[in-house]
Amino acid sequence: MEDIEDILLRIFKESSHLKEVFINENLSRLARVVEVITAALKAGNKILLFGNGGSAADAQHIAAEFVNRFMIERPPLPAIALNTDTSVITSIANDYDFSEIFSKQIRAIGQPGDVAWGISTSGASPNVIKAFETAKKMDLITIGLTGRDGGEIARIADHSLNVSGGSTPRIQEIHITVGHAICELVDYRLFQKPDHKR
């Protein structure tokens, strides 16, 4: 039987290793996503985040970092998690289909130039795929944060950030690290002086 401390060491080593793999595979793409979100916010657009389960929690978490503040005092930034309004979600799912819960909200409040940021550990969530299809028709910018092989979401996103691992918990750990990194760098691009030293 494996010792608890050995299991804990393995969990943390797996998480650390996957973070290194992710940044080696996605560094330039991640930097590009920071610039895309910064440009959208500068232009007066908003960020619409969405996902299911743990990814819904990540969407809500990241939206809160933008709207309230992250690490510095600065004005609130417009971000909405589309998975938080239970009345909207359940009415759409009940009257139409669960696959429509995000796409219908994008149709209601999305504007050209807004960012549609979908999170899916499998890369195959039907409601995220449908949301991206709607967003692209409406000229929103799509960002996919995925896992495993990225699935259909990575293929249709304008900007894809994929964690090429198979463990959902490890993928989610990288996803929130990515969200935090984006928040910090968007703040830096929008509010810090060019000669800012960390």
We report the CATH number of the domain holding residue 72 as 3.40.50.10490
What is the model's pLDDT at position 196?
47
Q: How far apart are CA 117 and CA 178, in angstroms?
A: 12
| 114 within domain boundaries | yes
What's the number of domains the chain is made of?
Answer: 1
What is the model's pLDDT at position 192?
86
| 179 within domain boundaries | yes
Contact of 160 with 154, CB cutoff 8 Å: yes
| 197 within domain boundaries | no
Q: Which residues of the chain have pLDDT under 70?
A: 193-198
Domain of residue 130 covers 4-191
